[in-house]
Amino acid sequence: MRQGILQDIKQRVKKLRETIEHHRYLYHVLDRQEISEAALDSLKHELVLLEQRYPELVTPDSPSRRIGGRPLPEFKKVEHAVPQWSFNDAFSLEEMRDFDARVTRMLRSATGKEAHQTYTCEHKIDGLKVVLEYKDGIFERAATRGDGVFGEEVTHNVRTIESVPLRLKNPLSLIVEGEVWMKKSRLALLNAERKKNGEEPFANPRNVAAGSIRQLDPAIAASRKLETYIYDISKSSETLPASQYEELKLLQALGFKVNPYFEHARTIDAVIAYFKKWKDRVAKEEYLADGIVVKVNERHFQELLGYTGKAPRFGIAWKFPAEQVTTVVEDIAFQVGRTGVVTPVAHLRPVLVAGSTVSRATLHNEDELKRLDVRIGDTVILQKAGDVIPDIVSVMKEMRGGEEQPFKWPTSIPACGGDGRIERIPGEAAWRCVDRNSFSIQKRKFYHFVSKHAFDIEGLGPKIVDLLLEHKLISSFGDIFTLTRGDLLELPRFADTAANNLLEAIQKARTVSFSKFLTALSIPQVGEETAYDLAVHFGTFEKLHRALMNRPIASKELEHISGIGPIVERSIVDWFADPRHQKLLRELLKHISVQPAKKVATDLPLSGKTVVLTGTLATLSREEAEDIIRKLGGNPSGSVSKNTHFVVIGENPGSKYETAKKLGVHILSEKEFLALVRK
């Protein structure tokens, strides 16, 4: 068994090394990029963890032992006077605490007592690393990091960067290290110019910085208006400061541009606080930063800790939550929604993405699954950005070893109940259960009915709903409002306090807004937005109900409501015409009161306007922002079209932002949106 497992691990390690080397060469040598840095980091991290677990698989040429790439032949190759190291990466709080414990343990061993080290925290700038040499205070040479031993001489290009001092304020001979980068606003102007000239825009500031420094014509580098941040003195003709923090202050005093947000942290908890403060805030800066660099502050402790074969033991790079990572598809299963629609779901090897551990991702429908060609055992790139749920972006087919299993679309699934048959919905990519009254579907309808977006019955979550259904205390929505204290106390582990609290929440839910009432009914094609539009148009449920009891009148009424097309119209009319649903409504309305919709004033700032939200808002939840839009007369929508009036963007906006730009829809920042609200 051990031999078989080891053989599988060997194959995985081999594929990881080949793939990392391929993408490393594209990125570091050719300045081309096929996958994101975050996805490449994820592959490297997996390789490091496997090599730590199976040290017998480590080889001298492993990418985990490599720093950078080979110099381009167009530039003179130079040997670094000081080897250029790279930092090991951490991706979680646990790994940072392990780093702190490791440093503490090593210093205790080296000094024979508790060392009480402190740390310096800096932003990890995502640019191109350069090494600058000064002789008697005069700038002499600049080189890229290269492979850590040899780099490319790029003096003629770095000399054009205004933030690089040509003469220091003190005549020291020293070697410093830093990053060359480009402002986001500058990149936007550059790309606008390139688009105007019919040229391909640059992908990101890091790519354009690297490409500019590697131009043979210094006039091109000069026109790009690059920036630098210097963060380390690797060699000096004078004694170096006693701490990392003082070293950064010295660099500033010598005339170098230093990122202003470095801090001295007295404990690992202070480091964690610094990370949390900046992980969301850093996106507002003009530069890209993909994490923080943490170094032991005391220089004599740094010297005691020393280096491994590739990295300093006294420092680590703590990466911000990645929006793209790689993981493995372990299985493909199905989930059934409250309307009977079945959705394929990839069960994944758990992985940390955008700050949370993800073990599942939707594959949407049969067409998407075929397009991606996802197979069980595949290595995939997983993405999570802003308000977007985890999504499989692509399959890394080059990682396939031959054991992956193609997925065959089924004709039935157990979750549909009965014979489990499924059918494709005419004219759509979705499939649904043939029997749409199975227990599984009914259960999900109850979950939705009591949820925050519907009746919002606090304390009545899926587990309690399951108990009520299993004990046959409810079979219809109206039954919820007939529950007694005695009924609830019959349930396992249900005490007096819990029963009283739940009954109080049910009592509070007896009065519900018109739009939430419609949302709760699980009418196919009717989500929150359509329910709101219906409520505003008809005013009261009684008027809606009367109109829908006469199909010709209903169709005529519904066609006047923006956003309701023939498919939605037919779905609404069919639902209300079903005798089972008419009975459900009669029983439910005995116990609840549906509040009329508030009339929307026509003179409000957003009257008649459709507004789309995308990304994470800093000061408002999604529900709060949508509520504000409605109160101002607007219609919050989930999709962007030519009829959209505004798109409000938060941090990490998704594809809606790109669609809005293509369609020329007016885009508001969160600050601009709030200013409009206040106005």
Q: Which residues are catalytic?
A: 124
Provide the H-helix boundaries in 155-199: 155-158, 184-196
Q: Give CA separation, 124 vs 87, 231, 318, 564, 616, in Å.
A: 11, 10, 9, 49, 23
Is 145 annotated in a binding site? The answer is: yes
Q: Is 279 annotated as a binding residue?
A: no
Task: From 264, 257, 267, 202, select the one nearest 231 (Cα to Cα).
Answer: 257
**Residue 601 phi, psi (nearest 5):** -65, 145
How many angstroms separate the CA atoms of 355 and 235, rounded?
38
Q: Pick the closest to residue 7 from 404, 376, 401 (CA basis).
A: 401
Residue partners of 444: CB distance under 8 A and separation at least 6: 336, 337, 338
Annotated ligand binding at 86? The verdict is yes
Backbone dihedral region for residue 373 (phi beyond 0: left; psi -120 to 50: alpha; all else: beta):
left
Task: Please count the helices (runs of H) and the strands (runs of E) in the chain.
Answer: 24, 26
Say if residues 120 and 264 touch (Cβ distance below 8 Å): yes
- Do the Cβ atoms of 177 and 108 come closer than 8 Å? no
Q: Strand, coil or helix: what is 541? A: helix
Q: Is 319 annotated as a binding residue?
A: yes
Q: Residue 122, annotated ligand binder?
A: yes
H or E element at residue 290: strand 289-296
* Integer CA distances (angstroms), 598 to 233, 255, 532, 536, 539, in order: 66, 63, 11, 7, 7
Separation of alpha carbons 200 and 32, rounded Å? 13
Phi and psi torsions of 348, nearest 5°: -110, 155
Known binding residue 670? Answer is no
Query: How many Cβ atoms are within 10 Å of 203's Cβ, its own excluded?
Result: 13
SS3 81: coil
Q: How far apart are CA 513 and CA 474, in angstroms?
A: 23
Measured between alpha carbons, how far is 427 from 669 in angstroms, rounded to an integer? 37
Kindly give, in sequence order, each residue whose CB lies less than 8 Å from that of residue 138, ignoring residues fewer than 6 positions away: 166, 167, 168
- Name every residue whose Cβ is closer than 8 Å to that of residue 526 and which is 6 or more positions away in sequence: 518, 519, 534, 568, 571, 572
The 3-state DSSP class for residue 294 equals strand
Give DSSP secondary structure letters for 228-262.
EEEEEEEEESSPPPSBHHHHHHHHHHHT----TT-
**Spatial CA neighbour of 157 closest among 224, 205, 111:** 224
Element (H, E) at 349: strand 341-353
Strand extents, DSSP E, 136-237: 138-144, 150-152, 174-181, 227-236
Q: Give the residue among 238, 250, 226, 245 at the shortest CA–CA distance from 162.
A: 226
Binding residues: 86-87, 122, 145, 179, 295, 319, 416
Binding residues for Zn(2+): 416
Binding residues for NAD(+): 86-87, 122, 145, 179, 295, 319
